[in-house]
Structure formats: C-alpha cells, structure tokens
Chains A and B, each alone.
Chain A
Amino acid sequence: MPLKIRQDHNRFREIVRGRIKDNLKKYIQKGEMIGKRGKDTISIPLPTIDIPHFSFGHQEQGGVGQGEGEPGTVLGPGQVEPGQGQAGEGEGEHQLEVDLSLDELAAILGEELSLPHIEPKGQKQIENYKVRYTGINTTGPESLRHFKRTYKQALRRQISSGTYDPSNPVIIPTKADRRYRTWKLTPQPESAAVIVYMMDVSGSMGDEQKEIVRVESFWIDTWLRSQYKGLESRYIIHDAVAREVDRETFFHTRESGGTMISSAYRLCHEIMDADYDHSNWNIYPFHFSDGDNWSADDTRTCVEILKNDLLPRVNQFAYGQVESPYGSGQFIKDLREAFDGSERVALSEIADKDAIYGSIKDFLGKGK
C-alpha cells in the first residue's frame, strides 16, 4: 500500500524543482547531509523550504556547546547547529556529491524538455508496440482470467437457470462462464534522430569554459539517450581543424590551438551527407564555443554553410556560447544578426555553471 505521505512528498519535490508555487522559490535552501560511503564522506543534497517567521539571525546568535577546547578553538563544519539539535556525526573531510540517479534526473528533465520539431521519419518509423489490456474475451490463457467477470457470468447463469440458492450461495463457474482479459497493441512511433555535437577546444577556451561545455553536452547527451530510442550521436571537436572523435574522447580531450569554426560545420555537413539523409533522419547539431572565431571571413563562411547546407536539412541548429575572459564573444552576435527570428536556430549564452540548466532549457525546452 502506498503511504499517504507520497502526495505531500511529491508536492514538496515539485516545489523544489520549481514546477509549482513560485512564491516559495526564494525560501528553498540547499541543505546537505553528510554521510559515508565506504571510506569517503559524501554529501547528500537535502533541499529544505524555510517558511519565514519573525526570527533571529542565527549568525548573530551563537549558542552553547559541549566538549573540549580553549576559547578560540574552531568548531569544524557540520558541528555547529544553532539552537537545539539532535545528536549526529560527521567530519569534514573531502566530500563527494551524490549524483542524482539518472532515472530521477531524466524524470526531472523529461517534465520540461523535448527534442523540438521532431518529425516521424525513416523506415524505422513504426517499430515499437505497446501492450495495453483493454478488453474482455471468452477465450484466453488462464493467467489472464478475469475472476470478477467470470464470477459475475456464473452468477448470472445460475440465477437465470434457477440453480442459485441464496441460503447456500455457492457459485460454480463452468468453462463457458470464463472471461479473459485481452490486449491491444498500440504502435509507438519511434523517430530516427541523430545528434551531432561540436565543441571548440581551442586555446582561448579556458579549463572552466571547457568544463561548462562538457557538463552541458554531457547532460544533453545523457538525457536524450534515456528518452529517445534509436538515437545516434556523433562527436566533433575542433580548433583550427575539425575531426570526428568517439564519445569518450569528446568528453575527455584537452587540446589547444586556433579557432576555425567553419571547419567543424564543414565536417558536420560531410557526416550528414555520408550517413544521414535528412528525409529519413531528424538531425540536431549542437555547437559550443566561446564565440571567438579566427576571422570575420571565417564567420562569414560559417553563416554561408549554415544557410545553404545545414539549416535546410536539420530540425534545429543549437549554438551555445560560454562566457570567456579572452574571447570576444562576437560569434553569437553574428549568428543573431544572420538568423534572427529563425525558429530552426536556438542560441544560448552560458555565463557560468549555474546557467547550464537554463541553457539546456533554451535548447530543448517545451513549447517552442
């Protein structure tokens, strides 16, 4: 039996995820619980919502504690809990965040994201059937026997034939009384889609920028894989030249050099030409960079390639630009100028790690 509290629990989680009750958003606090997994201490995220009261600021308040130490002794993290507290344990060593389980994350994202403009394409179109039990039949396997309906049928027969005795209400179903559940197959259309990830690994991209790009493309990739069956991914990294790499390399490589964005777009075009006919595939290129291209000429070439070769074939072209202290950030402005208002081009600026989620929403948010 599901617990009654599930309802309240779900409601709480929806508030924390920001889906309902925006007015409480500012009271959400990112708490954590410190636990142990093997030798490591781990931090378990523990969001809470603090309803405002007339109350004292804890920082000013201090409190009374118990234990060894001279005045001036520092109390370690996790040890201070102003006000009264329960006994607990926890030492401040190196900590690891507990990842949300992928299922949980996909569920969170799934409520808000989808591949935009996706269309049924390709021969793989109808491949999946979903079984749903909808009807009743007089024949079927015993495991699907519908007891209630069988009983009713037998009761009906006995009453109408006059063999039903209310003082001894024994019902004996015969073979003809038996009823079975039947199922229907509903076709689940499955769309063929390919995602092409392109990442700028040039020297102007600092470690932080690369990290942001990796995190973002990692989550997009992970999420899409969990949501869409039959999804293919291709990975391109580029500095002054572009090359195709496998997933592992894409997320782990460190290179540096100049920047020619057009090289990546050209390679993307080649890959599409070779393997992904746009009448059979939904195509989604994603490109991440710091927006610092080698020359205005190259930018012009990029726009040309996009306009003539890529955009007519893709469902959406997504460009994410990371803020960088070195880069001029010009590229996104050029793109905006060239493609303003085009619904097939999604542009997003990513200021820092916190902005990743918002940026993913820019690309995949529902309702576009």
Chain B
Amino acid sequence: MTLPARLHDIKREIEGYARTFGLDFYDVIFEVITYDEMNMVAAYGGFPNRYPHWRWGMEYDQLSKGYEYGLSKIYELVINNDPCYAYLMESNMDVDQKIVMAHVYGHCDFFKNNFAFQATNRKMMDEMANHATRVRRIIDKLGVEKVEDFIDRCLSLENLIDQHAPYIKRTATPTPDNEVPQEAHGFKNDREYMQQFINPQAFLDQQRRKLETERTRAKKFPEHPERDVLHFILKHAPLERWEFDIVSMLREEAYYFAPQGQTKIMNEGWASFWHSTIMTTRALRDDEIIDYADHHAGTMGSRPGALNPYKLGIELYRDIEDRWNKGRFGKEYDECDDLRARRNWDQKLGLGRQKIFEVRKHYNDVTFIDEFLTIDFAMEQKLFVYEFNEKGNRWEIATREFAKVKQKLLQQLTNFGQPIIEVVDGNFENRGEMLIGHKHDGVDLRPDYAKDTLKNLTSLWRRPVNLVTHRDGKGIMLRFDGKEHSEKKVDL
C-alpha cells in the first residue's frame, strides 16, 4: 500500500529534520500494512518473501499471540537494503508514525555508515526472493519433507560462520612468492666474507627449523583452523547439487544478518537517540506529548533480568555526547581524583555530536561497550551481574562490581554470544574425518545440543566428526560416527 497523503507529509517533514541533523541514508520506502501482515513480515525476518519453513510459522505464532493478548506490538520494522524498506502499522496513531519514521531514519543512517554493514548485500530484498524461488524449485523436485529436514539440519549449523570474515582476508591466495622455499638461504649477501656475520650458523638453523614447521603445516588441511565451518563444508564436503545450493544460501543469509547481531545495542541506541532528538526538538506538537512520552517510555522500559538494548544504547550515546561536550575524557580527566572537580568538569569543547557520529561509524557492540562503558555510567544505570543460585534454585543479583559487570557484558557479546568453533582438521587421523575444536573460554557447551549438532554436521560431512572441548575443566573429545556417539578424554 502506498503512503496516504497525510503520512506522506509527515515523512517529508521528518526526513527534512533528519537531514538537517546530518543523518545520511539511502532512500526510504515506507509501506503501510495491517497488524497481521506486520507479524508475518516480522516473522520472515523483515523480508516479505522467504523460502517455506516452519520456523517462520513459529515466529508468527509468538508474535501474533503476543499481539492478540495485548502484550507486545511491533511498531517498526526496517530492512538494510538500498533503498531501505520500512513498514508502518496501519492502526497506529500519527504520533506513533512520526516516532517510527524518525527511528527508521536513525537505523538507515546506521546501516549505510557503520563499518560492520559495509560488506552486506544492499539488494538483499531481491536476493531473498531469489532464494525463496530456488528453494521452492528444489522442493517441487524432491518433496517438502526431504528438503525441510535438510534445512533443519543446516539451521543447526547456521551459527558456524566466521563473524569477522567480511572484514579480514584470512587466507592469502598462494603465489610463487609466498610459497614455502625449499631451503633456508638467510639474508641476501653478495660479499662472501660477510656471510658468517649476516647469516651465522645459529640463525640459519633457526630458519631451517621454521621452514620445517611451515612445511608440515602446509600439509595440514585446512592450513589454519577455519572458523567458517559452513564454507569449509561447501568447499570440501561431498554435497549433492541441491544441498550445496541450500547450504550456500543459508550461509549467505547468515552473513547478511550477522552485522545486525553484532550492533544490536549500537543500532537500536542510535535510532532511539534520533527519534528522541528529532521528536523533542522539532517534530512534536503540544497535543502529542503524552502519547510520545508513553511510547518512548515503553520502548525504554526494562526489567531487572533482561538488559534492554534500546535503553543501554541511547544512554551510552547520551553519555558520550555529554562527555565529549564537556571534555570529560583523556589523561587529565582520568587522573583527576578530586571528586568535586570531576563533577563540575566542563571544558566547553562541544565535540559531542561529532564524536557520536564517529562512534556510529567505527564501532560494534563489543568495542562500543569496551571503550565507552565507564564506572560512572555503570553506577548511574545500576548495572549488575546476576547468576543462577543452584541451592535456592533461583536467579539472584551476584555483584555490582564494575570490572565483573563489564567482563560479563563483553563475554555475552563476543562472537554474538556464541561459542567459537573451528575446523581444525579435515582429514583427521588420515581417515577423512573432521576434527573441530571449541575455543573454551570458561563456559562449557550445552552437552545434549552439542551431541545433536555433531550429528547434523556428520550428516553433511558424510564421515565421522570429532569435537574437542572441555567439560568440568577436563579436555574431552566427542565423536559421532554416523551411528552412535562416543567420547574420550584428551589432554589439552
């Protein structure tokens, strides 16, 4: 449905404000849809055209139940695409539509400028539709059950991608130049009498040893541990054509969504910052103030056990803006221990706006929290760590100690809160088996799920798969050979 004239005017107004504030975005196409369509599109992850799968039905079930019982409501839905697509709910009040539009322009600016999104496909709308068609065609040929079961298994492996792959080139293309030389020659030397000074025997021996290890590593497969397990499977597993097609589509979609997972706090915070700024300084009319306040408070509300990314994000941006306006950063400020001086610290720098635009470009959630979450901020926002009390069988506040709060938060965000898994050996024990390793950072894997995932991985690899991880502080290797699970202790 195209935008009615009334909303069109609002759009023009809000877009104008957004541009004067310096937001930079692709064109935004707003569509007005009913609540049911909204639930559907949201269930599809924002794209109106996805391949058939029960998982969307599950999302839809939750969203529509939540809406029907008046518990939750989706106001806004925006897609990282060029042009950006955003959906408005038909039944919302005009003031809500204003907030949503202002919020959406914030997101679009973020999509366009944040570094994490630079490698995403900006024509994903079309791509997703193509994926849907391809999967449907495969289903027509092979039947729903078979294809859906395969997709289920792939989804179980969906998070086994390299979250940072779009920004780092990990494997250099082999050229004659960087091929491992056969012999150690030492540094170039055309004066023979200098040889023992430029290339002493000890140095040459060391070079030789280094070359040897290089050469043995070259025989390993993969040469370096590979975090993009799906890519490894695509490259080396004996998949059928249609299976290959599906794995590659799901992998592409996983990479498309990954940056949104990595910047949830920043992205929502940024959009909230701008809807709040645009509304309170420009767009709000007197008679809308109550509804605006109600809506905004609803978005920012939090309960003790669940951190609200909207709230955390907006507060951090505000804090940064304030600190850079007043010059509350750098050595001098950090080292000042006069409480009164700190409280009244104001160098009238006015760098705040500039700083937050910079931050939205160069950070993701992990680096954002790491750099800008200060002890003052944590205290002001009353952050705490909670833990499960086994004895009392309940969740409790564990501590408010700043270092622990920050550490926990970062740990939750690193690798998107997922364990880091990598392919260590694709020809384990020279039997064509796969060996994958879990980089253990203090938290064990959920054992039953690990086993089932291993099974799914085996079904794609077609040969036994082994997983090395920790359990209760000891090294352990889980194995699935296509029929049954086994495990043995290993030394790490």
Contact in complex: A80, B305 (CB < 8 Å): yes
C-alpha gap A81/B302 in the complex (Å): 11
Instruction: Kindly provide the distance from the CB of A214 to the nearest chain B CB, expressed in whole angstroms.
Output: 29
User: What are 25 A-B pairs with beta-carbon distances under 8 A?
Assistant: A5-B56, A7-B52, A7-B57, A8-B43, A8-B56, A11-B57, A23-B152, A36-B70, A46-B62, A52-B452, A53-B159, A57-B443, A57-B445, A60-B388, A63-B412, A66-B381, A67-B382, A69-B384, A74-B395, A75-B397, A86-B72, A87-B302, A88-B72, A88-B303, A88-B306
Contact in complex: B306, A85 (CB < 8 Å): yes
Instruction: Kindly provide the distance from the CB of B434 to the nearest chain A CB, expressed in whole angstroms.
Output: 14
Among residues of A, the one whose C-beta sits closest to the C-beta of B446 is A57
Instruction: Kindly provide the distance from the CB of B383 to the nearest chain A CB, expressed in whole angstroms.
Output: 6
For chain B, which range describes its interface: under 10, 10 to 19, 20 to 34, or 35 or more residues?
35 or more
Residue of B265, B304, B452 near A67 (CB, 8 A) is B304
Q: Does B187 contact A (CB under 8 A)?
A: no
Contact in complex: B69, A35 (CB < 8 Å): yes
Q: Which stretch in B87-95, B175-183, B356-364, B417-425 binds the other chain? A: B417-425
Residues of B within 8 A of A66 (CB): 302, 304, 307-308, 311-312, 381-384
Q: Does A93 contact B (CB under 8 A)?
A: no
**Which B residues from 376 to 431 make CB contacts under 8 A with A?**
381-388, 392, 394-400, 405, 408-409, 412, 417-419, 421
Contact in complex: B421, A54 (CB < 8 Å): yes
**Which of B54, B156, B383, B394 has the most chain A CB within a 10 Å cutoff?**
B54
C-alpha gap A64/B381 in the complex (Å): 12
Q: Does B453 contact A (CB under 8 A)?
A: yes
Q: Does B160 contact A (CB under 8 A)?
A: yes
Instruction: Kindly provide the distance from the CB of A88 to the nearest chain B CB, expressed in whole angstroms.
Output: 7
Q: Does A274 contact B (CB under 8 A)?
A: no
Q: Does B195 contact A (CB under 8 A)?
A: no
Q: Does A222 contact B (CB under 8 A)?
A: no
Contact in complex: B156, A53 (CB < 8 Å): yes
Instruction: Kindly provide the distance from the CB of A28 to the nearest chain B CB, expressed in whole angstroms.
Output: 10
Contact in complex: A5, B388 (CB < 8 Å): no
Contact in complex: A3, B160 (CB < 8 Å): no
Q: Does A56 contact B (CB under 8 A)?
A: yes
C-alpha gap A33/B61 in the complex (Å): 12
Residue of B155, B301, B303, B386 near A63 (CB, 8 A) is B386
Assuming the contacts A55-B449, A70-B397, asked whether A5 and B43 have C-beta atoms less than 8 A apart, the reply is yes
Assuming the contacts A56-B419, A87-B310, asked whether A3 and B36 have C-beta atoms less than 8 A apart, the reply is yes
Interface size on A, residues (CB 8 A): 60
Contact in complex: B384, A13 (CB < 8 Å): no
Residues of A within 8 A of B57 (CB): 5, 7-13
What string of 1s and 0s marks CB contacts (under 8 Å) between A21-35 and chain B? 101100000000111
Assuming the contacts A80-B306, A87-B308, asked whether A54 and B449 have C-beta atoms less than 8 A apart, the reply is yes
What string of 1s and 0s marks CB contacts (under 8 Å) between A199-231 and chain B? 000000000000000000000000000000000
Q: Does B450 contact A (CB under 8 A)?
A: yes
Among residues of B, the one whose C-beta sits closest to the C-beta of A15 is B54
Contact in complex: B307, A84 (CB < 8 Å): yes
C-alpha gap A3/B149 in the complex (Å): 24
Instruction: Kindly provide the distance from the CB of B460 to the nearest chain A CB, expressed in whole angstroms.
Output: 14
| CB-based A-B contact count at 8 angstroms | 236
Assuming the contacts A7-B52, A56-B419, asked whether A85 and B60 have C-beta atoms less than 8 A apart, the reply is no
Contact in complex: A87, B384 (CB < 8 Å): no
**Which B residues from 349 to 377 make CB contacts under 8 A with A?**
none
Contact in complex: B149, A55 (CB < 8 Å): no
**Which B residues from 279 to 323 make CB contacts under 8 A with A?**
298-312
Among residues of A, the one whose C-beta sits closest to the C-beta of B261 is A84
Residue of B60, B70, B397 near A5 (CB, 8 A) is B60
What string of 1s and 0s marks CB contacts (under 8 Å) between B54-68 and chain A? 111110111001100
Contact in complex: B62, A79 (CB < 8 Å): no
C-alpha gap A304/B158 in the complex (Å): 64
Instruction: Kindly provide the distance from the CB of B29 to the nearest chain A CB, expressed in whole angstroms.
Output: 20
Residues of B within 8 A of A12 (CB): 54-55, 57-58, 60-61
Assuming the contacts A5-B44, A59-B388, asked whether A44 and B383 have C-beta atoms less than 8 A apart, the reply is no
Residues of B within 8 A of A13 (CB): 57, 61
Contact in complex: B443, A60 (CB < 8 Å): yes
**Which B residues from 424 to 457 make CB contacts under 8 A with A?**
438, 443-446, 448-450, 452-453, 456
Q: Does A49 contact B (CB under 8 A)?
A: yes
Assuming the contacts A73-B396, A75-B304, A85-B307, asked whether A52 and B449 have C-beta atoms less than 8 A apart, the reply is yes
**Which of A59, A60, A80 has the most chain B CB within a 10 Å cutoff?**
A80
Q: Does B217 contact A (CB under 8 A)?
A: no
Contact in complex: A67, B453 (CB < 8 Å): no
Q: Does B205 contact A (CB under 8 A)?
A: no
Q: Does A83 contact B (CB under 8 A)?
A: yes
Contact in complex: B398, A71 (CB < 8 Å): yes
C-alpha gap A338/B310 in the complex (Å): 69
Q: Does B339 contact A (CB under 8 A)?
A: no
Contact in complex: A63, B385 (CB < 8 Å): yes
C-alpha gap A88/B452 in the complex (Å): 32
11 further contact pairs, Cβ within 8 A, besides A53-B453, A87-B298: A21-B148, A52-B450, A54-B159, A54-B418, A54-B449, A63-B408, A64-B405, A65-B384, A65-B386, A72-B396, A80-B306
**Which of B44, B387, B456 has the most chain A CB within a 10 Å cutoff?**
B387
Q: Does A100 contact B (CB under 8 A)?
A: no
Q: Does A89 contact B (CB under 8 A)?
A: yes
Residue of B58, B298, B396 near A74 (CB, 8 A) is B396
